[in-house]
Amino acid sequence: MMTSAISARLADFIVNTRFDDIPTSIVIKTKRHILDTFGAGLAGARSDEAVKTAQVLKLLDGGGQVPLWGTGRQAMPGYAAWANGIACHAFELDDTGGCDHSGAVVIPAAMAALALCKAPISGKTFITSVVLGYDVARRALEACGAYEPHNEAGWHSTATCGTFGAAAAAGRLLGLNEEQMRWALGLAASYSGGLWAFIHDGAQSKRLHAGNAAQGGLTAALLAKEGFTGPGAIFEPVWGGFSRTFAPQSEDREAWLRELGSNWKMQRVSIKPYASCRSTHAAVDAVDELMKENELKSEDIARVEVRLNAFVEGMCGGRELEPMSRTQMSIPYAIAARLVWENVGLTAYGREQRHHPDIARVLELVELSVDDAMAADEEPTVTLVVHSGRRYVRRVDVPLGSPTHPVSEEALVAKYRSLALMVWDEQTANRLAETTLGLDDLNDMDDVVQLLATAPHSVGVFS
């Protein structure tokens, strides 16, 4: 069979990278992202999407040994990866800047793979698999020319690129050799797919994409382990090749191997402080900074002017209040939530909060204007106009949660706790946080699996 240099190098990297090869800073960051993803998935168990997924699982799955986080139920590995991936992405709380949403894809797949491992898996081995999954998932997107051109073409990169990260992480845990890993990567491409059509009406398919990628990557690794072959030319410039097919105008095939093993892609991933699309965050930060620095109150604001690029306006310029998923893509609502509720966390997106009269009033104050000269990756400029006519202007180029502007340890744990406590008591929530942040000292990941299997004390749909 044909074997490309890219497939061979990637397979070697995934199979042979050791925990000690990974910088300490990346290990620490990875543990933070694992905890953040657990929190997103636990809260997501109370989403409408997760509840509907559970109903479908009753028809498809006869039961298994992998926890559906925050539910007290279990499923077979593939379906658990699928359901947990959907839950992790359900409330727009999961990390971003990888494939894009690498945590919601890689970590559910890796956790599901644990059930199929014959020997105990240490925390260090699990961390290694997650680091590799994030790395390969991001490289897939960069091979498509990075976020803007791939997504502007209509592809949801979490779905198209995440499968490679899931396959890498699961394959590493399952002990694939280099030949099998090449097949797994080739097979992962056959699970790539997912379109941005949901943006027009807030359809729940966006959440499905993370689950599909997690399940697809895990399945690719399992098939490869059984000798099911994948195309060796998948990364080559041939008819049917991945980037030639998904990104013919923007492909950058060299990105698959560029600085492999030295430029760890985990270091560029962001943790979200707000329960909204990442493209809304810089505008929220700008409003927050101006309000605090100038000691302004929401009643002082006469108008909010937002100058932004056409790409972000098309994606996040809506003002719909239903469904919640559509509202979470809205810059005007995110700004209004900051002004009215003084936070843009998950509670700010509850139905009662979305339909509050003060939100309706403040939404009327937010004006968007497209600047065609702005690049697609350029952050918005926000102007607060007070009743006296005075104007306060700010552009935040590095939003809170970015690797160079990280959320603090205290804020990370506070976010996680606020989400975990939606389903668990404090003792269970705290135990998972402590165990996860000390993962590199853990001899057996079964400790984490058992915690995630804990039944909820609180149920019901948050919408």
- Tell me what pLDDT residue 195 has: 98
Distance CA 236, CA 242 (A): 8
pLDDT score of 458 more than 90? no
Q: Is the pTM of this model over 0.85?
A: yes
Domains and CATH numbers, the chain: 6-273+417-453 (1.10.4100.10), 278-395 (3.30.1330.120)
The per-residue pLDDT for range 12-70, each reduced to its tens digit, is 999 999 999 999 999 999 999 999 999 999 999 999 999 999 999 999 988 899 999 99
The per-residue DSSP string of 12-70 comes to HHHHH--GGGS-HHHHHHHHHHHHHHHHHHHHHTTSHHHHHHHHHHHHH----SEEETT
The per-residue pLDDT for range 326-343, each reduced to its tens digit, is 999 999 999 999 999 999
Distance CA 343, CA 340 (A): 8
Distance CA 81, CA 213 (A): 9
The per-residue pLDDT for range 392-427, each reduced to its tens digit, is 999 999 999 999 999 999 999 999 999 999 999 999
Over residues 75-101, the mean pLDDT reads 97
Q: Are 126 and 178 contacting, i.e. CB atoms less than 8 angstroms apart?
A: no
- Tell me what pLDDT residue 190 has: 98
Distance CA 331, CA 328 (A): 8
3 band by pLDDT with thresholds 50, 70 and 90: low
DSSP state at residue 440: G
- The stretches of 90-204 forming alpha helices (DSSP H) are 103-114, 123-143, 147-152, 157-173, 178-188
DSSP state at residue 305: E
Q: Give the tokens for residue 152.
A: 């502007």
Using DSSP's 3-state secondary structure scheme, residue 98 falls into coil
The separation between the first and the last C-alpha atoms of the chain, rounded to the nearest angstrom, is 50
Angle between helices 157-173 and 178-188 (to 10 degrees): 160
